[in-house]
Amino acid sequence: MTVGGDHGGEDHGGQDHGGNIDAAIARFGAGDWIDLSTGINRRAYPLPTLTQDAWRGLPTHSAQAGLVAAAAAAWGAAPGLAGLALGGAQAAIQMVPRLRPAATAGVLVPTYNEHAACLRACGWDVQGCHALDDLAGADLAVVVNPNNPDGRCWSAEALIGLAGRVGLLVVDESFADAQPALSLLPFACPANILILRSFGKFYGLAGLRLGFAFGAPPLIDALARMAGPWPVAGPAIEIGRAALADTAWADAMRVQLSADAVRADRLAQGAGWACVGGTALFRLYDTPDATSARDRLARHHIWSRIFPYSPRWLRLGLPGPEDEWQRLTAALA
């Protein structure tokens, strides 16, 4: 089974990803592209004014700790959980395979393909599993919750139960901001659970390269040693702290994205596509021919995501400004 899906970003290491706008331009020409091939919110958080220290000085330990504290508060992290800010959730994904000696790993599929790729690159024997129970017995198990690209979700109770049947459980919550009730962070989790979070997707600032890992102190200490003394840039720290503290913006954005998802589904239904999953940051549609559907949108300079393991699935992010919605409406008319 090919382990697929993506978080967005340029193609690298032979992996298939969304965000590969260069490929769109090479085939369909330059222009004013709307990149809906990722799950990155196009209604981005407004950038605050940064201090000169953010640019001129190395990030201090207190500034980094303040960022982690802001994330813990925003996401309701349980007392006793340690946290670490990193250069995107991807940075954590690349370090996870070195937390334990390489053995047998299970990845719930289909999902973001970097989990399996990074594990295999470090010598792990990776098996794609289709049900949560199939992960039992793995030395390391990975669950993306909510899942990318189909939006499947698992309860905290189910995941905590699974932790007792695997060596290390990695729960990737990169798309959980829009569905905070799914998060494991507020729970008293076993010490063998590592929770990954993305900042850039929900806040629409993927270029900031900011993400987090939360877990028992020994796990976070091990990641911190791998990450080095300055894993996050000063501007990312200041912007991240401001955005995470703005709970009113986050609450309003969840309402907006929920309405946007309904709007996108109605447009897709009018084009003859059926919604088969997704989250409030992206939708997954069953189409008669995914390649043709992608190319149809691309002729309007709207880039979407198809998958090598499905000839019918097309994933579509949500437009932001009204002019983007109008272009999508015209492309699907």
Above 60 in pLDDT, residue 2?
Answer: no
**What pLDDT shows up at residue 207?**
96
- Is pLDDT at 23 greater than 60 in this prediction? yes
Confidence of residue 18 (pLDDT cuts 50, 70, 90): confident
Residue 14, CA distances (Å) to 118, 122, 181, 308 in order: 12, 16, 35, 13
Q: Cα separation of 189 and 82, whole Å? A: 12
**Other CB atoms within 10 A of residue 11 CB:** 14
Q: What tens digit of pLDDT does each residue of 59-100 get? A: 999 999 999 999 999 999 999 999 999 999 999 999 999 999
Chain segment 175-229, per-residue pLDDT in tens: 999 999 999 999 999 999 999 999 999 999 999 999 999 999 999 999 999 999 9
pLDDT bin (cut points 50, 70, 90) of residue 19 is: confident
In the chain, pLDDT over 70 holds for what percent of residues?
A: 95
Cis peptide before 311 (omega within 30 of 0): no
- Please name every residue paired with 140 in a beta bridge, in sequence order, or none if there are none: 105, 168
Condensed to tens digits (0 to 9), the pLDDT of residues 110-153 reads 999 999 999 999 999 999 999 999 999 999 999 999 999 999 99
Closest among 330, 312, 12, 315 to 147, alpha carbons compared:
315
| 13 vs 25, more confident | 25
Contact by Cβ (8 Å): 221, 74: no
Q: Return d(Cα 247, Cα 137) in angstroms, integer.
A: 39
- Chain segment 248-280, per-residue pLDDT in tens: 999 999 999 999 999 999 999 999 999 999 999
User: Is 90 exceeded by the pLDDT of residue 8?
Assistant: no
Interval 33-62: pLDDT, tens: 999 999 999 999 999 999 999 999 999 999
Rounded to two decimals, the pTM is 0.94
At CB < 8 A and 24+ separation, what contacts does 273-277 make?
273/314, 276/150, 276/313, 277/149, 277/150, 277/151, 277/152
For residue 85, the model assigns a pLDDT of 98
pLDDT at 15 (0 to 100): 65
Short-list 305, 308, 309, 313, CA closest to 276: 313
For the residues 16-20, what does the mean pLDDT come to? 80
CA-CA-CA-CA torsion sign (172, 175, 180, 182): negative
